[in-house]
Structure 1
């Protein structure tokens, strides 16, 4: 009878590879994240504005408009529609760039990037998403507003929340390492104890088998038969000698 052989590991990986190649490419999930609010003079800064659709399978078209308010005056500074952006405020000429969704009219990320931040950029920025959801027989218009209070500083300072989060991250890492070390020691001791117990059981089983295979001792020799001796007196022996039946 021939022994069965396991298939090589490469043959097991082949079906998984084919499935991965045939799987469709999925769009990344949309997550709304608040924008940073502190910019440094002379550096670049991104004004984040993300508005996710409630239902990703519905087709939509969106337009994004940015407004800037400083000293009580509200100015329309930027507009993006039909995969094309336009700077509307001369103060931001050659200093604003689109950094949102690319090559699509279904916008979900309407972020812009400010180059070479100045003190005059401090103020309130408002991002307005005007989205039209397209159904089979009608369209539905929605509007979402997001406001950002931008502060301009000479040097970036870390907030207390950032410091605490970093400290907690290191504490978590150290705690996990200590927990793993304790678990490893516990498992090692448990495995060692189980091995010693198994060794003792095997030694006990081996001793019983040895005693059962020993040859029995030779039985004692049987007792010799008892022989009675008949002692004849001198007279009887003489009579037996002199008696002649003829």
Structure 2
């Protein structure tokens, strides 16, 4: 079996970069339409059970401080900011307390929604003898426009995302070829060792038989 922990880590890291590029490419919301605020925080070790809570905060363009916008914990979401009542839905991980995706969706965007949004992940990793708490945050600046326009940053991010996907696929093919050759070489070595052992046993048996005949 081919083991390459560094390779697996590089795949995960590149995947997270791709996800980040895809999420960060959207910074303009169109008035009177829906808009997704993406926020992803993946565990580095998937085998460790965990629970997570997600809190969103909002600071309008004319505000000085952030206000608590939304909270999601124990499969229950709560819209806290009255400016977003009946206009906000959970768009993240479903039917699990181990949240990886903390995205939300704003319905009927208004110009007053222009501002800075902050997503905060509070995750508790549950090991056999103790618990470990981790925090992650992401800030998104949204500008509400009459119609969607694409800036150079958005185009560059999308191009880089596709280039990275192609690079990742090529790297995976190289890894598969490397593992196949490693497994094939190990199999050939095992066959050679088995053949050498068989020949040694056969030679020893022949010598023993010759000795018995001479003694007779």
TM-score, structure 2 length as denominator?
0.61
Aligned residue number for residue 86 of structure 2? 94
Partners of 1:103 and 1:62 in 2: how far apart? 13
| 3-state SS of 1:57 partner | coil
Q: Is 1:115 aligned with 2:112?
A: no
The alpha-carbon distance between structure 1 residues 85 and 163, as it changes in their structure 2 partners (threshold 3 A), is: closer
Partners of 2:155 and 2:74 in 1: how far apart? 42
Q: Deviation above 6 Å: which 4+ runs of structure 1?
A: none
Partners of 1:94 and 1:163 in 2: how far apart? 33
1:168-207 paired onto structure 2 within 5 Å: none
Q: Is 1:133 aligned with 2:125?
A: yes
- Unpaired stretches in structure 2, ≥5 consecutive residues: 1-11, 163-216
For each residue in 1:72-118, what CA deviation from the matched residue of structure 2 results, as whole angstroms up to 9, or x when unmatched? 13110100000110000111000000000000000010000000000
Taking only aligned residues, the RMSD between alpha carbons, in angstroms, comes to 1.9
Q: Is 1:155 aligned with 2:144?
A: no
Q: Is 1:41 aligned with 2:52?
A: no
- Unpaired stretches in structure 1, ≥5 consecutive residues: 1-28, 170-246
Shift of 1:161: 5.1
Residues paired across the two proteins, number: 139
Aligned residue number for residue 68 of structure 2? 76
Match for residue 146 of structure 1 among 138, 145, 150: 138
Shift of 1:158: 1.8
Partners of 2:133 and 2:155 in 1: how far apart? 42
- Which structure is richer in relative contact order (CA contacts within 8 A, separation 6 or more)? 2
Q: Is 1:62 aligned with 2:52?
A: yes
The alpha-carbon distance between structure 1 residues 58 and 110, as it changes in their structure 2 partners (threshold 3 A), is: same
TM-score, structure 1 length as denominator?
0.53
Shift of 1:160: 3.0
Partners of 2:74 and 2:56 in 1: how far apart? 16
